[in-house]
Structure 1
Amino acid sequence: MAPDIRGNLRSVLWGAMTATPITLMSLASCVSYAQLIKPSPLSPGYFAAASFFSAGFSSLITNRMSHCPFLVTAPDMTFTLFIQSGQESVMRATAHLPEDVQIATAFVALHVGAVLLGLVFCVLGKLRAGAALNYLPYPVIAGFLAMIGAAVVKGAINIMRLPSGAYDSVGMAIAAGIACVVLGLKQKGVPTNMSSPVLIAGSLGAFWTWVCASGLSLGELQSQGWLLPPSDHASSPLDMFKLDWSAVDYGKILPSVDALALVLVASINRALTVSAIESSVSDESYSVDDEMSFVGFATVVGGALGGVAMNPTSAMTTLCKEGATGDALTGRFTVAIASSLHLLLWASAFPLTSFLPRFLLAGLLMVMGGGMLVDWAYLVTRKLQRTGVVVIYAMLFVSIYTDMTHGIALGIFLALCFMNVQFSKLEVLKYHVSGMHFRSGGSYTDAQRGILRKYGDMTQIVGLTGFLSEGGAISLTKYLNEVVRSSDDLETLVIDCAACQGVNDSACFHFGKLKLMCGKGSVRLVFCNLNPYDEEKLRSWKLESESCKIVGHLTEALESAEQDALVQGHAPCAPIGVQSEDGEAERQELAQWLGADAASELLRLASLSTVPAGTTLSTQDELADRVYIAIPGHSDVQVEVRTGTQVRPAVLLRTTLGAICAPESLIGSHVRGTWRARSQSVVLSIGGDSLQKLLRRKAFAPVVSAGLHQQLVQADQLSALYTLSKGGGWRGVTFDASTSGMVNSTALEDMGPRLRRSYTERIPQEQTGAAKTEVQHHSDGHLSPQYDVAAVLDFNRFTSPNDYHSDGHLSPQYEVAAVLDFNRFTSPKDNDSNVHFAGRMRSQSVDDVLLAGNGGPGVVESLPNLVLNSYSVSQSSKRRPTDQRQRTLSELFSDLEEV
């Protein structure tokens, strides 16, 4: 027991030492704030005594109910202003009534206001709305706190008013000097809660030393204005609980509208204080809303008994934790001792206000109010935008020349206006490309690609980002209207909402206006990738019609537009042929695609079969044991790649021109995408022993070549999708060579980020693609248009030579992040590279290749380390059977030599 006793004594000793400056600060605040509650039927002496009792009792019960053992409550400026507003309304309402009625009504109104304030805190905590108060715009919160500081400074100046109506200039200078010293030390890193007690003790010592030396009496000091006049009411501590209930006018005890407006400020202050204490003082994390409820209940109890609501103070709570050295028990003892000192002073009925000079009370108020003004009206402006500074100073000046209620209303109004303006400037345009440079992933013949290149501008795709509300929707529809008017060949306008976070009713209304605009111009409007809720909203606005469609995916919209372009170009896609009886038609298609020898070998290895629409030929991430060869002209297949948790996988390739479904199985790797039959298709299914035989036949090279070409096409499509995804936000909009003229659109000036110095000074990235393309700048290195461009998408593969200078540089005069060029695999000449490669492989005798492997300069020796992997990196634990081990090219050609 002895160590426990010594530990408790140590906690009590440290608690007493820490409680002394806390009590001194709190008592000075009680007396100072009591002088601000004017006019009121109750005297400042009564409010000081009630504050002593409330501070002691409220600190005790609040600390016991709080999650933080160091929590200390004290008078708060926002609560004092709420009390002052309520008492002023009672004074006005009962001015014509007898004095005893005024006093009794003001007494009940004081307690009702405190209880009401505590109930509001409890309700906010129970509704989990305490933290929601932090979502008010930061400039408005700063304006609230600056207004409070200004009100405190005004109260300090009023304290220095003499009974004659004049101001005590000497006392005012001393009070200002005290405030300047404390605030100056604060800027040097000395906390206010450290410098204020020393200054209070030093000022009191110096003042009463001068009084003793001069021989002035209390009456003379009061008449000269050094001390406050004596209280007009009884000073017995129990008198504050005595009341003639029959004299109360119950119709005038509720707070006025002005006072209720201050409840919002008090709630914000309480929420901010509780949150600050939880994050910076408490050792354990706890719910801010639960703390609001508990502390609110303590406010109800303390306010019902004492009448003056107290608020937790982060400064004194921090001092309590530092003095207690972080020990919870010492912190509890500290608060208990400080509460006992408050209650002892209240019970003794010592007239403390009669011994505190005016300049000291005014100086303390100036310290508190001036500190808030410095923090929230000066220092905070260094990190705010101009609109935020305007909000703060507008609220501040209105509150000074009128009252805080008008300042609060003005602040909320200005914040809403500026917030709406800022929302209207948000970037909602992610990319804008044309059908010439962005495709659905479908595979077409050379003639069809030429038609799509010719009629590519008939389709334009606009990707959206962010949330579409009033301002953003107006800017977007203005831009889209300009697109429709300036594009003579436009027939389909696709709106991709995959990155859009939502739309509201105002955006739906503006989309309706866009629909009418497109209808007049014979332009079909298509929405895709809509959230189910947003899709339902658009349908409720009756947007869907013959001229306006809502489809599920972007690929679906692009495929429809491409089919329309091919029909207009008299080169529609041929219907899928059914399986022939003798297989000759399929043999000819295979021969034209892979070569006659390869076609014959493949048909000997497997027989033709027809799979119904929707059949899954291979599944992503699985280790396939067979390969499907889709017959050109007799099949319609696509590959879907699931790159994340999206419901709709990305369709990177769809073709009717033949495909090697799951070419990864040829090298023993996991399938990178799910191959699926879009319609009834004729395929060759090669697996088991047939697949092993294929690895040793001449057909292996053209099949691998075709599979490699498919991977290149998928990589192109994936790169284009990646480029589009990088648009939006601070990067700006992604355009292509066809839509880049819209970069100078006046509609873009109404939304999106302006040119930032940090952005324009970045080193432009090099081109990604076959050839490096330098980005053209003006002589000063800056962009001509006042808008950011994320990238210029040049993935059409049919870019006209007119789009480039003679030196190969891109013509548009604006900064880009990347210029993507996919001419390697998509021009009519290079598109048949797989056939040419296969032909070259077929033209060379296998014996020649094998002989080259025996010492001659051939393929095998030039690639001695090339291994056909039997497993993927992501699923290395899944192995093929031992008869399907990994094989090097040397082994394969050795087997072929044996054959």
Structure 2
Amino acid sequence: MTKNQKTPLRGNAILASGMIGLVAGIDNLGNGLAIAALLFSGPLASGLGLGVGVVLLSAAILALLVGLRSTQPNTVALVQETGVAVLASTVAAMAADTPDAPDAVRVATALAILGTSTLVTGALFWLVGRLRLGTLVRFFPYPVVAGFLAGSGWLLVEGGLTMLTGEHAPLANLGSLANPPTLAKLAPAALLAALLVVVLRRNAPPFALPAVLVGAALAFHAALAVLGITPDQARAWEWLPTVSGAGAVSLPWPTEIVATADWSRVLAAAPAILSVAVLGLVGLLLNSSGIELANGHDIDANAELRVTGSANLIAGLFGGPSGFVGLGMTLLAGRLGAADRWAGIATAAVIGLGLFFAGWLVANTPVFLTAGLILFLGIELLLEWAVASRKRLPRGDWLIVLAVLVAIAVVGFIEGLALGLAVSLAMFVYTYARLPVIRSSTTGHALRSRVDRSPAAMHHLTEAGGAIEILQLQGYLFFGTAEQIVHHVRRRLSDAGAPPLRFLIVDFAHIKGMDSAAASGFTRIRNLTATAGVRLLLSGLPPKVAAALALTELDLESDPALARVIDIDHALEHCENGLLATAPLPPPDGALIRHLEEALGPHARLADAVAALDELRLMPETVLIQAGETASDVFIIGRGRVKVQTTRPDGQRLRLRTMTGGAVVGEIALLLGQRRIADVVVDEPSVIYRLTAATLARLEREDAELAFVFHRLLSTTLAEKLTRATLVIEQAHR
């Protein structure tokens, strides 16, 4: 039963592949004729047979090789008209500039330009895929890509009109379009393009495009029969193409192209060739992204680039145009049920079969039909990327699309490319320069170091903290964002309403990098602060940023006007020490009673409080508190300095706080009955007083007033620490 169920499913898959092959093959045949007619018209009309041959051969190679090796089994690859639109204007300009050259040379040169473009495109695809850089191309500015595609649509429209008028720039001479002979071809071509736009924008079935084209061709020949117009007369009126060799389609040998082409003209077309390669690279990745989104699974973009690059390299040897996966046809293959590689094989088979009939098709396909199809393709690109993109893009990005389109239409494709990239770069710099590079701006009043000092010292720092300005930076610094910092410093120095500035801390802990222009901006900041008598401290410098600053005139090691500090905490400690050095504070004589008066104010029992404490005289590196032990006492520093630290899993010690004379240590764990969470180690010779839990409990029973003094000291200390922690949290969320 299972076997019987698999057979019809397999048959359905083959039928679906045949259907998509027929649809895609006929579509390729129609597009191939139109593309060849676009490239080989006017002075190059004698090469139309060769043009049709190379275009269809290239389409067959792409469909077969990509279909066989793509990571998406039902991929259908197509010749892409956007690149052809760029090359058509280049080829037409070459033909117009070489009126005296033999037809064979001009045709071979056109094929050489086309083939070289495909070879360069294939090599670029393969190299980017080989280096696994496919995802990087997606950073190409989207408005510029949209502008290129809209510009390609304009070039296709212009190319379609060229096919009808025989003039290289028909829109420069609008009067030529009103000539009766031209109008007789233009009117049906325009009507056909409009009909295709209307039909294919109404969710038409897959066979709609081939049906309209075949119907238009049959209607044309039926009209000739009814009116009694012979094919020769229609050719004389340029309603049917005049093809040498009775419209025979042939394929050139690569050696013939190499030997006959004017390679100086091919070299002159290098800018257009490179732009086609880049546009193709972006187009392939955009289509792959669309297939990923529609199918719900990832596609290996780098593998697709290598496969498509190899196929283009082979197609380019025969002078054919470039191509890659077709988004619409591949999605259609999935909807029809074609889930294997037969979709691409069937498409290649239909195109290959069409080669045998291409000569007859070329000779009997009306000019208005191929021109109308080119006009339709161009109008579709314009509608999609110049009109519909307005709803998808912000106004600024959409204006870039229009600017690129206008530049391509008025000046040229390469100039439009340059303009789009320049405008996108300028807008990026402008937008990025407006992003706030200053993460926070505060003063020493709100942000303190992790040094707990005496109440008098803390009070002074609260009063004088405005003399310290702290700038915490973020992101990447370049010439646009660095100016924000210079402007902020200049404004702060000139602010007469703020306290006189003595220290400026610039913290780089959240900076990812810096360019040379931004580095030179800090030389200006150093000069501004030095002139104002302000000491500049640079904290948290990453190695790359420090190296960039070292290449400027800044001397990070010996300049008396600035200092390099390990982090913002040490920078704040440096500034606070500077403020306290000139503060009118009593000398730190180590008298504990003085510290208690500063914290609690005058009280009759302060001397009794000191007498109730144990005095400890400790040397550096003595462990006062050890992490993990049960809290049974609290310490008050009379004189000296201790550090609170923790040990990381890798064994490195991290300083959490530093405490000096007057600070209280360990009160939280004692009051809550918790274990110690950090080590406290003596940092310099110190006199420290200890209040044990047993002493405090005894005082609560025997001397409530004295116990109240200690509880008030502990609660005041906790309140101050909570206030400082709240300020830090508020500052972090600004």
TM-score, normalised to structure 1, is: 0.70
Identify which of 608, 618, 623 aligns with 1:610: 618
Correspondence list, 1:420-499, <5 A: 420-487=429-496, 489-499=500-510
Q: Tell me, in whole angstroms, the C-alpha distance in 1 between the residues paired with 2:382 and 2:544.
A: 47
Contact 2:507 2:540 in 1 (8 A): yes
Identify which of 109, 115, 121 aligns with 1:117: 121
Question: Shift of the alpha carbon at 1:396?
Answer: 1.2
Distance 1:668 1:255, change over 3 A: farther
SS of the equivalent of 1:52 reads helix
Identify which of 79, 84, 97 aligns with 1:80: 84
Residue 316 (str. 1) matches residue 325 (str. 2): no
Distance 1:668 1:306, change over 3 A: farther
Distance 1:342 1:306, change over 3 A: farther
Aligned to 2:547: 536
Correspondence list, 1:412-811, <5 A: 412-487=421-496, 489-541=500-552, 542-544=554-556, 545-571=559-585, 574=588, 603=614, 608=616, 610=618, 612-613=620-621, 615=623, 617-619=625-627, 623-627=628-632, 629-639=634-644, 651=656, 654-661=659-666, 663-664=668-669, 667-669=672-674, 675-683=680-688, 698=700, 709-727=716-734
The letter for the 1-side match of 2:72 is C
Q: Tell me, in whole angstroms, the C-alpha distance in 2 between the residues paired with 1:197 and 1:499.
A: 60
Instruction: Give 5+ residue unaligned stretches, structure 2.
Output: 168-175, 702-706
Contact 2:111 2:257 in 1 (8 A): no
Question: Shift of the alpha carbon at 1:355?
Answer: 3.0
Contact 1:666 1:704 in 2 (8 A): no
The letter for the 1-side match of 2:514 is V
Question: Shift of the alpha carbon at 1:404?
Answer: 0.4
SS of the equivalent of 2:684 reads coil
Aligned to 2:170: none
Contact 2:646 2:653 in 1 (8 A): no
Aligned to 2:362: 353
Aligned to 1:745: none
Q: Tell me, in whole angstroms, the C-alpha distance in 1 between the residues paired with 2:608 and 2:200.
A: 90
Question: Shift of the alpha carbon at 1:543?
Answer: 3.9
Distance 1:171 1:701, change over 3 A: farther
Identify which of 243, 250, 255 aligns with 1:230: 243
Q: Tell me, in whole angstroms, the C-alpha distance in 2 between the residues paired with 1:293 and 1:303.
A: 15
Question: Shift of the alpha carbon at 1:615?
Answer: 5.0
Question: Shift of the alpha carbon at 1:631?
Answer: 2.9
Structure having greater relative contact order (Cα 8 Å, sep ≥ 6): 2
Q: Tell me, in whole angstroms, the C-alpha distance in 2 between the residues paired with 1:349 and 1:186.
A: 25
Q: Tell me, in whole angstroms, the C-alpha distance in 1 between the residues paired with 2:152 and 2:623.
A: 71
Contact 2:46 2:103 in 1 (8 A): no
Tell me how large the CA RMSD over aligned residues is: 4.0
Instruction: Give 5+ residue unaligned stretches, structure 1.
Output: 578-582, 728-899
Question: Shift of the alpha carbon at 1:529?
Answer: 2.2
- Mean CA deviation greater in 391-400 or 713-722: 713-722
The letter for the 1-side match of 2:727 is A
Q: Deviations over 1:70-94 (max 9, x none)?
A: 2111121233145436645764786
Question: Shift of the alpha carbon at 1:614?
Answer: 8.4
Size of the alignment, in residue pairs? 707
SS of the equivalent of 1:359 reads helix
Correspondence list, 1:252-401, <5 A: 253-254=266-267, 256-281=269-294, 284-305=297-318, 307-324=320-337, 328-329=339-340, 332-401=341-410
Question: Shift of the alpha carbon at 1:138?
Answer: 2.3
Distance 1:576 1:212, change over 3 A: farther
Aligned to 2:66: 62
The letter for the 1-side match of 2:729 is Y
Aligned to 1:52: 56
Contact 2:454 2:661 in 1 (8 A): no
Contact 1:58 1:73 in 2 (8 A): yes
Aligned to 1:36: 38
The letter for the 1-side match of 2:83 is F
Distance 1:102 1:157, change over 3 A: closer
SS of the equivalent of 1:631 reads strand
Question: Shift of the alpha carbon at 1:648?
Answer: 10
Distance 1:726 1:34, change over 3 A: farther
Q: Deviations over 1:698-743 (max 9, x none)?
A: 399877765555554443333322322233xxxxxxxxxxxxxxxx
Q: Deviations over 1:786-844 (max 9, x none)?
A: xxxxxxxxxxxxxxxxxxxxxxxxxxxxxxxxxxxxxxxxxxxxxxxxxxxxxxxxxxx
Question: Shift of the alpha carbon at 1:367?
Answer: 2.8
Distance 1:701 1:156, change over 3 A: farther
Question: Shift of the alpha carbon at 1:520?
Answer: 1.4
Q: Tell me, in whole angstroms, the C-alpha distance in 2 between the residues paired with 1:590 and 1:395.
A: 71
Aligned to 1:405: 414
Contact 1:652 1:714 in 2 (8 A): no
SS of the equivalent of 1:629 reads strand
Q: Deviations over 1:843-890 (max 9, x none)?
A: xxxxxxxxxxxxxxxxxxxxxxxxxxxxxxxxxxxxxxxxxxxxxxxx
Residue 159 (str. 1) matches residue 135 (str. 2): no
Q: Tell me, in whole angstroms, the C-alpha distance in 2 between the residues paired with 1:615 and 1:231.
A: 102
Identify which of 8, 11, 15 aligns with 2:10: 8
Identity, in percent, stands at 21
